Structure 1
Amino acid sequence: MFKLSVGHRLYISVMALFLIYTACFIIFQHNREKQYKIDTLNQELQDYNRHMHEAVLKKGIRNEQALTSFVTDHLEKNIRVTLIDRKGNVFYDNEIKNYAHIGNHANRPEFIQAIKNGQGQTLERKSSTLSREYFYSATYFPKEGYIIRTALPYNDYLTQSLQADQHYIWFALIAFFLLTFVLYRFIRQLARNITQLRTFAWRADHNESLDIEELINFEDDELGEIAERLIKLYKRLQNTRKEQDILKRELTQNIAHELKTPVASIQGYLETIINTPNLTEQTQKQFMERCYAQSVRLTTLLQDISILNRLDDGSPYLKRETVNIGLLVKQIGEETALPLQEKHMTFNNMLPEDIIITGNKTLLYSIFRNLTDNAIAYAGQGTTITLKATRAETVWQFTFFDNGIGIGKEHLDRIFERFYRLDKGRSRENGGTGLGLSIVKNAIIFHGGTIQVCNLPTGGLRFDFTLACL
């Protein structure tokens, strides 16, 4: 079954409405023009009646000769003049003189209207006396108690005089065809854009290529611009989805690889203990300690992955509370005092005491703890770690830096990637999971901030980041 498109349905609907409007306009204008000419003619006859009334008052109502003289002197073409008393009896008529045979006029429409309203008219009525159709206009003069009625016969001249002007019909038809043309041009553009959008939707739903000529050029209007932007946005989302799929595969492979290492180590040590009954107690203890160390690393890795997953899931799953950053960093300084001492390092905490941030305490702890652990692991022996902060309108600006060896420029752009390591062997020896700085970046973004990293000219690594204030 053939189905009209949206554009064609719109075109037909609008044209039908305008066609109805045009027809109503023509009918209304025709009636208006005709009524105007009727009113004009009636007004002329009413004026004639009043002039005759003035003449009648001067020469006498029943003066047949004077009335005939006036009508003769002021005769309009084909006009018939009749005088009727208030009871409907005719006492003068310029065409019929045998008044006794003229019927009573009390039931004539124009007579009834004149008695009631002062004047009356009948557009087209057949005369009972002369058996012709007339246009009647009657005027009642209550003081004298009579009605003057004038009438014009309905002939070709009167019909033509009352005929409405036809110019408005041509105007309406020209306007109709102009609108048809303009609307057709508009609907054609609209239909093309809708057709292209329909093609886009079908191909997108069936996972078919969008790189076809039909989806390249759109009409130069608002809908065409919207359609073009929609297709570009969809393509961008497709590319983003592909990139996400690649990243997910890489992440899954990295997670599997990172989990495999501690699990294999634990399995190897336990297998050695089980299959070697002659191991000394000291060796067994040493292997068990290594198993425990790998299990701790495995736990840390799983915790880091869990934190990143929660960050990816979004804020509804993370509780927010008021956190004192000064106390949080002081706690981290106490917890890392021993590894700092072992490497002869110094943690120079220069934070103000009034840093209050509304956020997730676990994530805020992870930011400063991961930065500190990273500096302890890689800055080098005898270095100093410094942490500063300043208030800037709606954010706190933090600077975390050390005077260590820094990193190569080629690593700066990738340092926040998940599982990215500068030296994989050294990172695993230090117990790193490769997720610490990725957690730092995502946690800062979660708290409405940004982070940048650079090497210091004098040596060392510097992190500049912001966190939204309370």
Structure 2
Amino acid sequence: MVSKRRFSYRWRLFIPMTGILWAIVAVLVIYQYKREVNYRTEALKSQLDVISKRLIDAYDRNIDMRQFMNFVNTYFDNELLSEASVCVYDSQTGRLEYSAGLPVLHDFSEAALRPEFNEAAESGVGETLSEDKDGTLFYYKALKSDDGKIYVHTFAPYTVGITDAIATEPDFWLIIATMIIIVTFLGYLSTSYLTRNVTLLRDFANKAAEGKVEADTSRFPHDELGDISRQIVKLYIEKDEAVERSEREHQIALHAIEDKARTKKQLTNNINHELKTPIGVIKGYIDTIMSNPDMDEDTRNRFMTRTQENVERLCSLLNDVSEITHLEDGAGNIPLTEVDFHDIVFTIESDLRATGIAGNMKFTYDLPFDCTVKGNAGLLSGLVSNLIKNAVQHSRGTEMGLRMVVESEKYYTFSFYDNGTGVDAEHLPHLFERFYRIDAGRSRKVGGTGLGLPIVKSTVEALGGSISVHNRTGCGLEFVFTLKKWN
């Protein structure tokens, strides 16, 4: 299908507007034309009336009218009187005494039959309009002297040749042409200004379709249309940014879901692997006991003790898996309250001294008494306990401690450290990974599940903080973590 050629918005606005302006100019020209016609017609009648009265006045004062008629003949060269005629009749003799122009009637007896003469005979002055055989309308006037002897008859075409008169005045047409040029130029400027916003919006839409959006709105005029255009551009850019932001967030969410699924799959695989060892040991001991009913008491008790140790390890593993799953899946649902962190650490330190769980390691802490954080008492207690358990099982040191190192407006920063052997730098990035072991054999021997430090990291992040680990200068490990203050 052949597409129709479109006129631009500027031309669709410019043509009607210019047409209206030209129509206004045309109305003004027509009005001026009619005004000029009326003015010249009235001027003609006035001048003919003056001539008639001057002739009657000259007769009444017994002045020779010949000199005045000579003046009239000269005066008829005026454009208004070029087609006029003046006749002076003697009613008593019936003769045409004087004339200027081309008289129509030479005999008064014929002239007296005209309507204006009849009217002048009765009232002293008579006027009439009539057409000649060519259809030209003439204005006739007859004026009678006081004694009734003299009649002055004047006539001229009632419709003056205004077009010819105007044609002889080049200034008139120059003014008209200037007005047309001015209104056309003003129309062009006005439509250009009014359509500038449309043009700029079209350019913006074309660039937006090509993916080349520009946020520069300084080119839009500073008026209502410009404000609307800037607002449209602003809304589009905000929407475009929102779409991009939404796409980024969607991609991040997809990656997070994929990472979570991958992590769960990895966790499941690791759990299966970790469960095999204690379950296999338990099954082996039980099978041995069941297949040897005559086993001596000491051996049976030793096997039962080893079985109980592996059952406890299995329970610890299941508890740790449950806890880390709860932390990761329900981090946003953990009830947070005002918790006295000093009191929690004090209680843990007292339990360590009473039970001797720390073995040969000494635990110290340095926290202010008013150290209140936003958290969960159970999770915070588990956090510190896991750090202590990790140090006891793996550090091979003699001292460990917890202290506050920095207090900001919103956070406390704490340091948990030990004076053990530390770890090689290559292992540091992996310490918070599930089931990651530097020495797998030793870790299983001491009862580690491989989930202690991942639980610590998940706990800190669930409470809105962060944690990092590094080797201390000299010896040992240091865990630096932050907790939100209770404000």
CA RMSD of superposed structures (Å): 5.3
Does the CA contact (< 8 Å) of 2:395 and 2:419 recur in 1?
Answer: yes
Deviation at 1:100, TM superposition (A): 6.8
Q: Give the structure 2 partner of residue 298 of structure 1.
A: 314
Q: Give the structure 2 partner of residue 418 of structure 1.
A: 434
Does the CA contact (< 8 Å) of 2:36 and 2:162 recur in 1?
Answer: no
Structure 1 residue corresponding to 2:27, chosen from 24, 38, 43: 38
Q: 1:159 to 1:313 in 2, by over 3 A?
A: farther
Distance in 2 of aligned mates of 1:190 and 1:279? 86
Structure 1 length-normalised TM: 0.61
Partner of 2:311, secondary structure, is: helix
Per-residue CA shift, 1:354-393, capped at 9, x if unaligned? 1111112232122211111111112336x12121114232
* 2:450 counterpart of 1:461: no
Percent identity over paired residues = 28
Q: Give the structure 1 partner of residue 448 of structure 2.
A: 432
Alignment of 1:278-293 (within 5 A): 278-293=294-309
Q: 1:348 to 1:232 in 2, by over 3 A?
A: closer
Q: 1:183 to 1:71 in 2, by over 3 A?
A: farther
Paired letter, 1:22: W
Paired letter, 1:445: E
Structure 2 gap segments, 5+ residues each: 54-71, 84-126, 138-157, 213-236
Distance in 1 of aligned mates of 2:159 and 2:271? 111
Deviation at 1:414, TM superposition (A): 1.4
Alignment of 1:325-344 (within 5 A): 325-337=341-353, 340=356, 343-344=359-360
Q: Give the structure 2 partner of residue 441 of structure 1.
A: 457
Partner of 1:99, secondary structure, is: strand
Distance in 1 of aligned mates of 2:43 and 2:330? 99
Q: Give the structure 2 partner of residue 87 of structure 1.
A: none
Q: Give the structure 1 partner of residue 143 of structure 2.
A: none
* 2:402 counterpart of 1:387: yes
Q: Give the structure 2 partner of residue 371 of structure 1.
A: 387
Does the CA contact (< 8 Å) of 1:326 and 1:351 recur in 2?
Answer: yes
Distance in 2 of aligned mates of 1:71 and 1:348? 134
Partner of 1:413, secondary structure, is: helix
Does the CA contact (< 8 Å) of 1:26 and 1:168 recur in 2?
Answer: no
Structure 1 residue corresponding to 2:17, chosen from 28, 52, 73: 28
Q: Give the structure 1 partner of residue 324 of structure 2.
A: 308
Partner of 2:388, secondary structure, is: helix
Per-residue CA shift, 1:183-215, capped at 9, x if unaligned? 997666544549xxxxxxxxxxxxxxxxxxxxx
Structure 1 gap segments, 5+ residues each: 3-7, 79-96, 103-128, 132-147, 195-220
Q: 1:237 to 1:178 in 2, by over 3 A?
A: same
* 2:418 counterpart of 1:402: yes
* 2:369 counterpart of 1:353: yes
Q: 1:435 to 1:149 in 2, by over 3 A?
A: farther
Distance in 1 of aligned mates of 2:393 and 2:480? 19
Q: Give the structure 2 partner of residue 272 of structure 1.
A: 288
Deviation at 1:419, TM superposition (A): 0.9
Paired letter, 2:22: E
Q: 1:447 to 1:409 in 2, by over 3 A?
A: same
Deviation at 1:222, TM superposition (A): 11
Does the CA contact (< 8 Å) of 2:460 and 2:482 recur in 1?
Answer: yes
Paired letter, 1:394: K
Distance in 1 of aligned mates of 2:367 and 2:128? 127
Which structure has the greater CA radius of gyration?
2
Per-residue CA shift, 1:203-256, capped at 9, x if unaligned? xxxxxxxxxxxxxxxxxx999999999999888877777666554443322121
Deviation at 1:20, TM superposition (A): 5.2
Q: 1:130 to 1:275 in 2, by over 3 A?
A: farther
Structure 2 length-normalised TM: 0.59
Alignment of 1:11-410 (within 5 A): 19=8, 22-40=11-29, 42-43=31-32, 46=35, 73=78, 75=80, 98-99=128-129, 190-193=208-211, 246-337=262-353, 340=356, 343-380=359-396, 383-389=398-404, 390-410=406-426
Distance in 2 of aligned mates of 1:359 and 1:77? 115
Deviation at 1:447, TM superposition (A): 2.3
Deviation at 1:296, TM superposition (A): 2.3
Per-residue CA shift, 1:293-349, capped at 9, x if unaligned? 222222222222222223322533211122111111122223333664673221112
Aligned length: 366
Paired letter, 1:385: M
